[in-house]
Amino acid sequence: MRRRLILGALALVVVVVVAVVAVPLLTGAGPIPPATVDPARLDAGQRARLVERGRYIARAADCAACHVAEDGRAYAGGLPMETPVGTIYGTNITPSRDHGIGGWSADDLYRALVYGILPDGGRLYPAMPYTSYHAMTRADVDALSAYLASLPAVEKPNRPPDLAFPFNIRPAIAFWNLIFRPEPGDLPPPAGSAAPAGDHARGRYLVEVLGHCGECHTPRNLAYAMEDDRHLQGEVIEGALAPDITPAGLSARGWTAEDLTGFLSTGLSPQGTMTFRMYPVLHHSTRYLTAEDVGAIAAYLTDGAPPPTRPEPVTTGHTQNPGHDIYLGFCAGCHGADGEGHPAASPPLATNTTAMLQDPRNLVKVIRDGIPARPLAGTGRMQEMPAFGDLLDDGEMAALVNYLRRRWGGQPGDVTAERVAEVGPR
């Protein structure tokens, strides 16, 4: 009996040693490729070109959208990001030595972006998308490092994450990495693409790596890891649905490559305007991309898609719908009695994909909370969409949502007042 207890104790010690020592070692940073440039040996012109290329990488990677400060200062950190397990705040990535990344080398930045490992060995939470950035090229990281080092330092302290136990135990991320973190490497285009190999590879790199689209648009499991078998099929983020952007999903809502190109470049399309977390993507990222890169993204996302379809608007019987009078009273003044919209003022509803989504939450949120007036790309601007949450009760809201879904969305009018209430507070 005593021997069994001793053996059991030894086995427990081995398990603890493996858990405490081996797992962190196995999930630490792996090989780091040699730098592609030595900034110390560059002349002023070469350095300026490297910094400008890094600025483009920062925009393509949408760094500012998560690292902006509450007062709008780029890269100073503080933006709250709600997750199912608590709130994580974007960090300061300016060259501040006390609060930012002023002491980081390009190797340190590569280690953080690709492996999720800080210079001191600490683990980043996977809200920082190293599971997508794992395939960033060393050349892109070197350019990004030069650009971030060129920014003015902002002496703004970071705010620690507010996470529930046990998710607030940062070293436990080592176990998460052991299971879910991908290995670094390139993303060669899969066989069977209809697009030219170079264009497809560029589009895939922009979507899957730099743009990290899957981080919002891919369903996650209980461990907050992306479900690879449901890639880009849509997920709820901070109470709003980031919809299905697979080729089939886009096609079913009428999207074409041309529509996507315009949407990513200007924030406008026949299917609607940029809202929720997609607006910062336009504001900080996609409007700055070259026409070639935006085209590559659109081509990749629609590669192999069936011919686009969209529901036919209901042209008869809709006036008997309980939401018809509510629509005429609150919506038709801007969107038109037949959902035609007004150019440069309000988007059409007859082709708007928000009503086509099976999940009604985005439609409820837009009507209830409204959308502030916002600048779009160039001289474009989206006028304010008023909030009607204080004017319509849940039953009236449900009637209006059902009217929009049935008349233009091809969806059943089965949204109840209880479902509207479930969407949650503003």
SS3 173: helix
Q: What pLDDT is attached to residue 49?
A: 97
Helix 197-204 to helix 291-301 angle (10° resolution) is 90
Query: Can you read off the two tokens belonging to residue 156?
Result: 């703004």
DSSP code per residue over 348-375: -STT-GGGG-SS-HHHHHHHHH-B--EE
One domain, residues 337 and 263: no
Q: What pLDDT digit, counting tens, does each position of 175-227 carry?
A: 999 999 988 875 654 544 555 556 788 999 999 999 999 999 999 998 889 99
Q: What pLDDT is attached to residue 377?
A: 76
337: CATH: 1.10.760.10
Centre a 10 Å sphere on the Cβ of residue 260 and count the other Cβ atoms it contains.
22
Cβ atoms of 281 and 68 within 8 Å: the answer is no
Task: Using the predicted structure, report yes or no on whether residue 13 has a pLDDT greater than 50.
Answer: no
Task: Using the predicted structure, report yes or no on whether residue 153 has a pLDDT greater than 60.
Answer: yes
Percentage of the chain exceeding pLDDT 70: 89
Q: How far apart, in whole angstroms, are the C-alpha atoms of residue 355 and residue 30?
A: 46
Task: Using the predicted structure, report yes or no on whether residue 25 has a pLDDT greater than 80.
Answer: no
One domain, residues 232 and 266: yes
Which residues share a beta bridge with 88?
81
What residues are designated binding site?
63, 66-67, 213, 216-217, 331, 334-335
Q: How far apart, in whole angstroms, are the C-alpha atoms of residue 230 and residue 181?
A: 17
397 found inside a domain: yes
- Strand 80-83 vs strand 272-273: parallel, antiparallel, or unpaired? unpaired
Residue where one domain finishes, among candidates 127, 146, 180: 180
What residues are designated binding site for heme c?
63, 66-67, 213, 216-217, 331, 334-335
Cβ atoms of 392 and 378 within 8 Å: the answer is no
One domain, residues 127 and 168: yes
Q: How far apart, in whole angstroms, are the C-alpha atoms of residue 378 and residue 371?
A: 20
One domain, residues 243 and 272: yes
One domain, residues 253 and 210: yes
Query: Can you read off the two tokens belonging to residue 422?
Result: 């479930």
Task: Using the predicted structure, report yes or no on whether residue 22 has a pLDDT greater than 50.
Answer: no
For the chain, first and last CA: distance in Å?
Answer: 62
Chain-centre distance for alpha carbon 375? 20
Q: What pLDDT is attached to residue 71?
A: 87
One domain, residues 163 and 223: no
128 found inside a domain: yes
Q: What pLDDT digit, counting tens, does each position of 59-85 carry?
A: 999 999 999 998 888 899 999 988 888
383 found inside a domain: yes
One domain, residues 156 and 220: no
SS3 296: helix
417 found inside a domain: yes
Task: Using the predicted structure, report yes or no on whether residue 129 has a pLDDT greater than 90.
Answer: yes
Q: What pLDDT is attached to residue 198?
A: 66
Q: What pLDDT is attached to residue 426?
A: 57
Cβ atoms of 209 and 187 within 8 Å: the answer is yes
One domain, residues 63 and 132: yes
Q: What pLDDT digit, counting tens, does each position of 78-98 carry?
A: 999 888 888 999 999 999 999
Q: Which of 377, 353, 370, 360 is nearest to 294 (CA)?
A: 377
Cβ atoms of 389 and 368 within 8 Å: the answer is yes
> What residues have CB less than 8 Å from 378, skipping those under 6 apart?
266, 287
Query: Can you read off the two tokens belonging to residue 30?
Result: 């792996």
The CB-side HSE value for 140 (13 A sphere, CA atoms) comes to 18
- Report CA Rg, the chain: 24
Q: How far apart, in whole angstroms, are the C-alpha atoms of residue 360 and residue 398?
A: 10
Q: What pLDDT digit, counting tens, does each position of 296-325 carry?
A: 999 999 999 999 888 888 888 888 889 999
Q: What pLDDT is attached to residue 140?
A: 96
Burial group, residue 278, by CB count within 10 angstroms (0-12, 13-18, 19+): buried
Amino acid identity, position 295:
G
Residue 241: enclosing H or E segment and its boundaries? Answer: strand 240-242
The tally of domains found in the chain comes to 3
- Look over the chain and give the mean of its residue pLDDT values, rounded to a whole number: 88
116 found inside a domain: yes
285: CATH: 1.10.760
One domain, residues 52 and 167: yes
Kindly tell me the sign of the dihedral angle through the C-alpha atoms of 341, 355, 241, 263.
Answer: negative
176 found inside a domain: yes
Q: Which of 74, 182, 168 is nearest to 130 (CA)?
A: 182
Chain-centre distance for alpha carbon 356? 21
Cβ atoms of 296 and 203 within 8 Å: the answer is yes
Q: What pLDDT is attached to residue 331?
A: 93
One domain, residues 62 and 92: yes
Q: How far apart, in whole angstroms, are the C-alpha atoms of residue 64 and residue 71?
A: 13
34 found inside a domain: no
Q: How far apart, in whole angstroms, are the C-alpha atoms of residue 144 and residue 141?
A: 5
Q: What pLDDT is attached to residue 425?
A: 64
One domain, residues 333 and 369: yes
Q: What pLDDT is attached to residue 154?
A: 96
Q: What pLDDT is attached to residue 378?
A: 72
For 228, the domain range is 200-302
One domain, residues 69 and 175: yes
Chain-centre distance for alpha carbon 195? 25
120 found inside a domain: yes
Helix, strand, coil percentages (3-state) for the chain, rounded to 5, are 45, 10, 45
